[in-house]
Amino acid sequence: QKEVEQNSGPLSVPEGAIASLNCTYSDRGSQSFFWYRQYSGKSPELIMSIYSNGDKEDGRFTAQLNKASQYVSLLIRDSQPSDSATYLCAVNFNTGGFKTIFGAGTRLFVKA
Protein backbone atom coordinates (compact mmCIF):
# COMPACT_ATOMS: atom_id res chain seq x y z
CA GLN A 1 0.00 0.00 0.00
CA LYS A 2 1.53 3.26 -1.10
CA GLU A 3 1.07 5.97 1.50
CA VAL A 4 1.93 9.60 1.99
CA GLU A 5 1.74 11.03 5.49
CA GLN A 6 1.66 14.59 6.75
CA ASN A 7 1.00 16.14 10.13
CA SER A 8 -2.55 17.46 9.93
CA GLY A 9 -1.75 20.48 12.09
CA PRO A 10 -2.83 23.10 12.47
CA LEU A 11 0.62 24.67 12.38
CA SER A 12 0.58 28.22 13.66
CA VAL A 13 3.48 30.62 13.08
CA PRO A 14 3.84 34.39 13.53
CA GLU A 15 4.16 36.66 10.54
CA GLY A 16 7.74 36.78 9.31
CA ALA A 17 8.72 33.41 10.78
CA ILE A 18 9.77 30.25 8.95
CA ALA A 19 7.08 27.59 8.52
CA SER A 20 8.32 24.02 8.17
CA LEU A 21 6.05 21.39 6.63
CA ASN A 22 6.97 17.72 6.48
CA CYS A 23 5.90 14.68 4.49
CA THR A 24 6.96 11.03 4.48
CA TYR A 25 6.16 8.40 1.88
CA SER A 26 6.25 4.64 1.95
CA ASP A 27 7.22 3.51 -1.56
CA ARG A 28 10.84 3.71 -2.67
CA GLY A 29 9.63 3.53 -6.29
CA SER A 30 8.31 7.09 -5.98
CA GLN A 31 9.48 9.22 -8.87
CA SER A 32 8.47 12.80 -8.34
CA PHE A 33 7.31 14.96 -5.49
CA PHE A 34 5.10 18.02 -5.34
CA TRP A 35 3.84 20.58 -2.89
CA TYR A 36 0.45 22.15 -3.53
CA ARG A 37 -1.32 24.91 -1.66
CA GLN A 38 -5.08 24.79 -1.29
CA TYR A 39 -7.24 27.61 -0.01
CA SER A 40 -10.61 26.72 1.46
CA GLY A 41 -13.13 25.97 -1.29
CA LYS A 42 -10.52 26.18 -4.05
CA SER A 43 -8.53 23.62 -6.03
CA PRO A 44 -4.87 22.81 -5.33
CA GLU A 45 -2.28 25.10 -6.88
CA LEU A 46 1.31 24.02 -7.47
CA ILE A 47 4.04 25.56 -5.32
CA MET A 48 7.05 23.37 -6.00
CA SER A 49 8.13 20.17 -7.70
CA ILE A 50 11.28 18.24 -6.80
CA TYR A 51 12.74 15.13 -8.39
CA SER A 52 16.24 14.59 -6.99
CA ASN A 53 17.83 14.60 -3.56
CA GLY A 54 18.72 17.96 -2.08
CA ASP A 55 17.20 21.40 -1.89
CA LYS A 56 15.29 23.40 -4.47
CA GLU A 57 14.54 27.06 -3.86
CA ASP A 58 11.93 29.29 -5.47
CA GLY A 59 11.48 32.68 -3.89
CA ARG A 60 10.39 32.27 -0.28
CA PHE A 61 9.87 28.52 -0.72
CA THR A 62 12.45 25.74 -0.38
CA ALA A 63 11.67 22.08 -0.98
CA GLN A 64 13.96 19.42 0.43
CA LEU A 65 14.04 15.78 -0.68
CA ASN A 66 15.80 12.86 0.99
CA LYS A 67 15.00 9.63 -0.84
CA ALA A 68 17.03 7.46 1.55
CA SER A 69 14.85 8.64 4.44
CA GLN A 70 11.71 8.82 2.22
CA TYR A 71 11.14 12.36 3.38
CA VAL A 72 10.22 15.59 1.64
CA SER A 73 9.73 18.97 3.28
CA LEU A 74 8.71 22.52 2.44
CA LEU A 75 10.10 25.60 4.15
CA ILE A 76 8.32 28.93 3.83
CA ARG A 77 10.47 31.89 4.79
CA ASP A 78 9.07 35.26 5.87
CA SER A 79 5.62 33.74 6.29
CA GLN A 80 2.72 36.04 5.42
CA PRO A 81 -0.96 35.87 6.49
CA SER A 82 -1.76 35.14 2.83
CA ASP A 83 0.22 31.88 3.21
CA SER A 84 -2.50 30.59 5.54
CA ALA A 85 -3.87 27.55 3.70
CA THR A 86 -3.69 23.78 3.59
CA TYR A 87 -0.45 22.43 2.13
CA LEU A 88 -0.65 19.13 0.30
CA CYS A 89 2.27 16.81 -0.39
CA ALA A 90 1.87 14.63 -3.50
CA VAL A 91 3.97 11.74 -4.80
CA ASN A 92 3.87 10.27 -8.32
CA PHE A 93 4.45 6.59 -9.04
CA ASN A 94 4.70 5.03 -12.47
CA THR A 95 5.26 1.34 -11.82
CA GLY A 96 2.46 -0.98 -12.86
CA GLY A 97 0.40 1.99 -13.96
CA PHE A 98 0.48 5.64 -13.06
CA LYS A 99 -0.75 6.82 -9.68
CA THR A 100 -0.53 9.99 -7.61
CA ILE A 101 -0.91 9.78 -3.85
CA PHE A 102 -1.68 12.90 -1.84
CA GLY A 103 -1.20 13.35 1.86
CA ALA A 104 -4.14 14.60 3.91
CA GLY A 105 -2.57 18.05 4.11
CA THR A 106 -1.22 20.33 6.83
CA ARG A 107 -3.22 23.41 7.79
CA LEU A 108 -0.99 26.45 8.24
CA PHE A 109 -2.04 29.61 10.05
CA VAL A 110 0.18 32.68 9.87
CA LYS A 111 -0.72 35.17 12.59
CA ALA A 112 -0.38 38.87 11.83
Least Å from the CB of residue 24 to other proteins: 14
Binding flag, residue 45, other proteins (CB under 8 A): yes
Stretch that binds other proteins, among 29-37, 54-62, 63-71, 74-82 (CB under 8 A): 29-37
Taking the CA atoms of residue 94, residue 2, residue 108 and residue 57 in that order, the dihedral angle to the nearest 10 degrees is -40
Closest separation between CB of residue 88 and other proteins, Å? 5
Q: Residues 3, 12, 16, 31: which binds other proteins (CB under 8 A)? A: 31
C-alpha to C-alpha distance for 63 and 74, rounded to whole angstroms: 5
Footprint on residues 54-83 left by other proteins (CB under 8 A): none
> What separation in angstroms does the CA of 2 have from each of 23, 35, 100, 111?
13, 18, 10, 35
* Distance, CA of 26 to CA of 28 (rounded, Å): 7
3 state SS of 83: helix
Is residue 92 part of the contact set for other proteins (CB under 8 A)? yes
Neighbour tally for 108: CB within 10 Å: 22
From the list 19, 44, 74, 85, which residue makes contact with other proteins (rule: CB under 8 A)?
44
Q: Catalog residues that contact other proteins under the rule CB under 8 A.
A: 4, 31-32, 34, 36, 42-46, 49, 51, 88, 90, 92-94, 97-105
